[in-house]
Structure 1
Amino acid sequence: MGRGRAKAKQTKVARELKYYTPDTDLSALEQELRAASQRSGSRDDASDDTEQDGYHYDDDQWAANDR
């Protein structure tokens, strides 16, 4: 007994969460995405031939050794 109210409340909360649509600040989102793309752009330039673990791979050297 008593579980009916608890279950009804859980159902109500779940429904509110499912259909909740907060207002989105699109200008703030745009600024955040610009800042993220600028930061990732500077990292891409520094790591063209460098893997994430810090080793440098030279494709020409490997191709010359295969011949």
Structure 2
Amino acid sequence: MGRGRAKAKQTKVARDLKYRTVDTDFASLERELRSESSTASGGYYDEPDYSQLAEAYDDDDSDDEDDPR
């Protein structure tokens, strides 16, 4: 029980989506997609260079191997 309200709401939303007339602004959509593709290649986040940290911790690991404990 209780499915009636949920189903009625889903039906109402589906009908609204099916019969709604929307004026799509294709020019703004194209601008948005073009700006996304140009930033996607560069990305929002530049990954830092971890090689220096890796070298620093690599030296510490070699000390542990010599320790007999």
Structure 1 and Structure 2 fold alike (TM over 0.5): no
TM-score, normalized by length of structure 1? 0.35
TM-score, normalized by length of structure 2? 0.35
Higher relative contact order (CA 8 A, sep 6+): 1
